[in-house]
Amino acid sequence: MATMKATALTSIRSADRGLFLISLGGLAAAIAATIALRTGDGGGAGWIWVCTWAEVPPPEFPQALFTFAIEPIPIFLIGLAALWYLRTRQRAQASHTRQIVSGRRVAACLGGFALVLFTVFGPIASYDGTFLTLHMVQHFILITIAPPLILLGAPMTLWLIASGKERRRRVIYPVLHAPAFRAFTHPLVGVFLFAAVPLLWYVTPAFEESLGNVTLHFVGYAIFLFAGLHYWWPIIGGNPTRWNLSYPVRLLYLLALVPIHAFLGLIFHEPDNVIYEQLAVIPRAWGPGPLLDQQIAGAIMFIAGEALGLIALLIVSWQWASHEERVGRRLDAADTSNEWRPVAYRERGR
């Protein structure tokens, strides 16, 4: 048994070294690819046009549907996160005979990473600097759809298991149990971030500045994704949290989705002038004009936010009803079992 454990430990360490070397090689390749794209004019591969974020060709339909704005370094980092998740799951599973995370949850997590990639670098991203509507779709996906998919894979639980008992006791638990960390992970902080991040991004000059600053552009993506992960963490099961919300509280928590998206939608739908001057002067070969584009963006935020809030409420309500039904069946089974016990046995158990 000791020999088998030692062999498994050696294999894990060897795989970790391999992952580290792959990470270094991937980062070097991403840097080289970035330099090549920056110094070139982009290139076509069949129907697909590959370019950097700063060198997107003018929007022409239907070519715009097959244009991908590639930034190798962020793509590498997202891919590395997905690879880290798979490796962490492998390490956690090595010490357990039964499956820790189901295949469906793993698929959901990887699907979440893929959705982030497609949203940030796909055709939507290629023209989010031209059409506010597309940027609004990106924001909606990154803060409300991709995070719950990623969290369904229980990445934190797998990481805690894979870290080992000694590392959890000496390093991880002291951080997780620190008052500052508990305060930051409070659900009310999640609601605040969920509301404040998009509001500050669009009301302050941050959004308009990001149209001409690629670094700020990707920082914005990361902030939206982080705010979404923080907000959905107490709702999605499978991840450790000190804030175990009851089902009624979860319903109230999810209701915050409705007014937040409604308010953001009204900000863009109600004005009769274009808010962002830079979007107003960009030439458009097709698609809605600047004002109509802005109004559509507001309508999308309002309608999609309301719809998602309703769907989330229905799912939690169904989970609540299923939970109550399971509890009821257990109580009924216990009562039935007690009725069939011999009287003397029941009396002795009192």
pLDDT at 48: 63
**What DSSP state is assigned to residue 168?**
I
pLDDT confidence of 100, banded at 50, 70, 90?
confident
pLDDT, tens digit (0-9, with 9 covering 90-100), for 134-172: 889 999 999 999 999 999 999 998 998 888 888 888 888
What's the rounded mean pLDDT across residues 270-292? 83
Backbone angles phi, psi at 130, to 5 degrees: -105, -45
Backbone angles phi, psi at 32, to 5 degrees: -65, -40
* Nearest C-alpha neighbor of 264 from the set 195, 335, 208, 345: 195
What's the rounded mean pLDDT across residues 322-326? 76
By 3-state DSSP, what share of the chain in percent is helix, strand and coil, each rounded to 5?
Answer: 75, 5, 20
Pairwise CA distance, residues 77 & 83, whole Å:
10
Q: Decide: 125 and 71 in contact? Cβ < 8 Å.
A: no
Residue found by looking up tokens 């990887």 in the block: 110
pLDDT at 349: 46
The least confident of 103-112, 224-233, 309-318 is 309-318
pLDDT at 350: 47
The least confident of 11-15, 58-62, 157-161, 330-334 is 11-15
* Residue-averaged pLDDT of the chain: 81
Query: Which residues touch 162 (CB under 8 Å, ≥6 apart)?
Result: 88, 89, 91, 92
* Nearest C-alpha neighbor of 294 from the set 145, 176, 167, 134: 134
Q: Residue 162: which region, alpha, beta or left (left: phi > 0; alpha: psi -120 to 50)?
A: alpha
pLDDT at 40: 63
Peptide bond into 62 cis (omega under 30): yes
User: For the chain, which residues make up each domain, given as ranges?
Assistant: 8-348
> Taking 80 as the threshold, does the pLDDT of residue 96 lie above it?
no
Pairwise CA distance, residues 250 & 29, whole Å:
44
Alpha carbon of 208 to those of 103, 204, 271, 294: distances in Å?
A: 42, 8, 17, 14
Q: Decide: 268 and 275 in contact? Cβ < 8 Å.
A: yes
Pairwise CA distance, residues 119 & 134, whole Å:
10
pTM of model > 0.85: no
Relative to beta strand 43-45, strand 48-51 is antiparallel
